[in-house]
Amino acid sequence: MGRLCTAGLRVSLIATLWLPFCAAAQQVPPAAEPPQTTIQLERPNGAAQGPTTITLQDAIARARKLDAQYLAAVGDAKNAHEDATQARNAMLPQVTATSQFLNTQGNGKTFNGRYVTNDGVHVYRAWGVFHQDLSPGVYLATGLHRAQAAEALAKAKAEISQRGLTVTVTKNFYALAAAQRKYASAQDSLTQARHFLQITQGQEAGGLAAHSDVLKAQIQAEQQQQAFEEAGLAMEDARLSLAVLLSPVLDENFTLADDLDTAPSLPTFSEMQRLAAQENPDIRVAMATLREADVDVAAAKGAFLPSFNIETDYGIEANHFALRSVIAAEPAVGPVPNLGYFLTASVTIPVWDWGTLRSKLKQSQTNREQARAALTQAQRLNLANLYSAYNEATVARAAVASSRQTADQASESSRLTELRYQAGESTALEVVDAQNVLTQARAAYNDAQLRYRVALANLQTFTGTF
């Protein structure tokens, strides 16, 4: 009986001491949540209608209409085509027509004019002129061949500019897509951090967690809030960078057709080599340059050859504008025909020029050797760059698969760690670490997807579209 009284006294004493503590714990105000205000960024005014959905191909097509460097390269190619047309036409005979009236002061005694070149006071000319220049540049067609080589060179440079623009647009397009995903991930991480803050506050109110857990959760929420705002800034910067390429008025009123998850597969390297051998514009530039150098050598050799010139004039040159008339100097002869022709043919042979032509030939031969060396070097560099680009794409593709698995594992780890914390089996630090690892894993996955897309675009600069 005495023992029972003693035990009851102990229980009563413990209850007396513990209940006020629990009541005080329940009255502890929860820690204040971090401010949830969102920074308002300045953005260009959008159009009144709804946003337009843009695919990567749409973005590339828009950029080709606006990019000044690409349009300049295309313009150079068009001008080079016109130069080739003009060079071809210059080899053909030229036909012109001319009409003249020569009024000469008379000498006062005869019908002749005072100028000996004119046989009358009034002279009329109406000629059709056929002219053919047979210089070495014409009968060797060096001018035409060089213009055609320059056209091929300009087209290859335009192709290089086009592929470079495609890489730029692809990079900016998928940079925006990745930034949007990072923004969504940052928003999700912020939601998780705030949820965990509420859990720690409830645990502290129930006496199951220390106040340090609340502070740790609050710091995590504040950091996630800042990361969320930085993600919004990065997304807006990426949108502006893409809008510069797509819109002449910097219109941001568009949405992306996000296809990061459906990236094309990587062909085999042998297929890449085959495409690069056929579609590499850098090699075509070097080959066109060598072709120009060959034509220059041929033109320098042709300068030692003779030049021919033929000109035929058909029409009238008479004192009267008629098919038949009386010659002013000999009126007694009577009317004679005025319509007729005369032919002029000449040949020019280079004899002595103090070695200038031979010096030009040596210069052209030196330039050809340089162009030949540049071609072989371009072939080696492009093959090395093809290996490098293909290896980069291979590693980037593997990184996508690995980072996707890591992100899934990090998501499950964060969920389980939070459940363990609610069950009292883990610490707040472990929860925060799991959330940070999840944020980093998601960002790494988005970066890997962007890296693979850019790697494919860089690879297509050597091979063309595949």
Above pLDDT 90, what percent of the chain?
63
Helix axes 142-205, 68-90, angle to 10 degrees: 170
Asked if pLDDT for residue 427 goes beyond 50, the answer is yes
Could you tell me which of 388, 386, 16, 443 has the C-alpha nearest to residue 234? 443
Query: Which stretch of 107-116, 172-181, 228-237 has the lowest confidence by average pLDDT?
Result: 107-116
Distance CA 320, CA 326 (A): 8
If pLDDT is split at 50, 70 and 90, which confidence band does 312 have? very high
As beta bridge partners, residue 134 has: 308
Task: Report the pLDDT averaged over residues 433-460.
Answer: 95
Q: What's residue 100's pLDDT? A: 86
Phi first, then psi: give them for residue 260, nearest 5 degrees. -60, -30
Contact 341, 126 (CB under 8 A): no
Contact 466, 265 (CB under 8 A): no
If pLDDT is split at 50, 70 and 90, which confidence band does 338 have? confident
Contact 223, 192 (CB under 8 A): no
Contact 205, 30 (CB under 8 A): yes
Contact 454, 167 (CB under 8 A): yes
Asked if pLDDT for residue 22 goes beyond 80, the answer is no
Asked if pLDDT for residue 415 goes beyond 70, the answer is yes
Distance CA 276, CA 464 (A): 8
Residues 6+ apart with CB under 8 A from 128: 95, 96, 97, 313, 314, 315
Distance CA 456, CA 452 (A): 6
Could you tell me which of 450, 339, 327, 463 has the C-alpha nearest to residue 390? 463
Identity of the residue numbered 213: D
Asked if pLDDT for residue 14 goes beyond 90, the answer is no
DSSP string, 76-99: HHHHHHHHHHHHHHHTS-EEEEEE
Contact 364, 300 (CB under 8 A): yes
Asked if pLDDT for residue 328 goes beyond 80, the answer is no
Note the Cα 59 to chain centre separation in Å.
11
Distance CA 280, CA 159 (A): 9
Q: Reduced to 3 states, what is the DSSP secondary structure of residue 201?
A: helix
Rounded to two decimals, the pTM is 0.78
Query: Which stretch of 72-76, 272-276, 324-328, 445-449 has the lowest confidence by average pLDDT?
Result: 324-328
Distance CA 78, CA 65 (A): 15
Contact 28, 201 (CB under 8 A): no
Secondary structure, 3-state, 359-387 = HHHHHHHHHHHHHHHHHHHHHHHHHHHHH
- Token pair for residue 125? 């000319």
Asked if pLDDT for residue 103 goes beyond 50, the answer is yes
Q: Pick the more confident residue, 102 or 60.
A: 60
List of domains in the chain? 53-91+141-305+356-466 (1.20.1600.10), 97-139+306-349 (2.20.200)
Q: Reduced to 3 states, what is the DSSP secondary structure of residue 324?
A: strand
Note the Cα 388 to chain centre separation in Å.
20
CB-facing half-sphere around the CA of 436: CA atoms within 13 A: 13
Distances (CA, A) of 264 to 267, 368, 456: 9, 42, 9
Q: Reduced to 3 states, what is the DSSP secondary structure of residue 264?
A: coil
DSSP 8-class letter at 334: -
Distance CA 295, CA 303 (A): 12
Average pLDDT, the chain: 86
Asked if pLDDT for residue 453 goes beyond 80, the answer is yes
Q: Reduced to 3 states, what is the DSSP secondary structure of residue 308?
A: strand
- Token pair for residue 138? 């014409």
Distances (CA, A) of 128 to 11, 192, 317, 363: 133, 91, 12, 42
Query: Which stretch of 272-286, 291-305, 391-405, 427-441 has the lowest confidence by average pLDDT?
Result: 272-286
End-to-end CA, the chain: 94
Asked if pLDDT for residue 17 goes beyond 70, the answer is no
Q: Reduced to 3 states, what is the DSSP secondary structure of residue 31?
A: coil
Distances (CA, A) of 257 to 55, 179, 452: 5, 14, 17
Give the long-range contacts of residues 233-236, CB within 8 A, separation 24 or more.
233/41, 234/179, 234/182, 234/183, 235/176, 235/179, 235/180, 235/182, 235/183, 236/41, 236/43
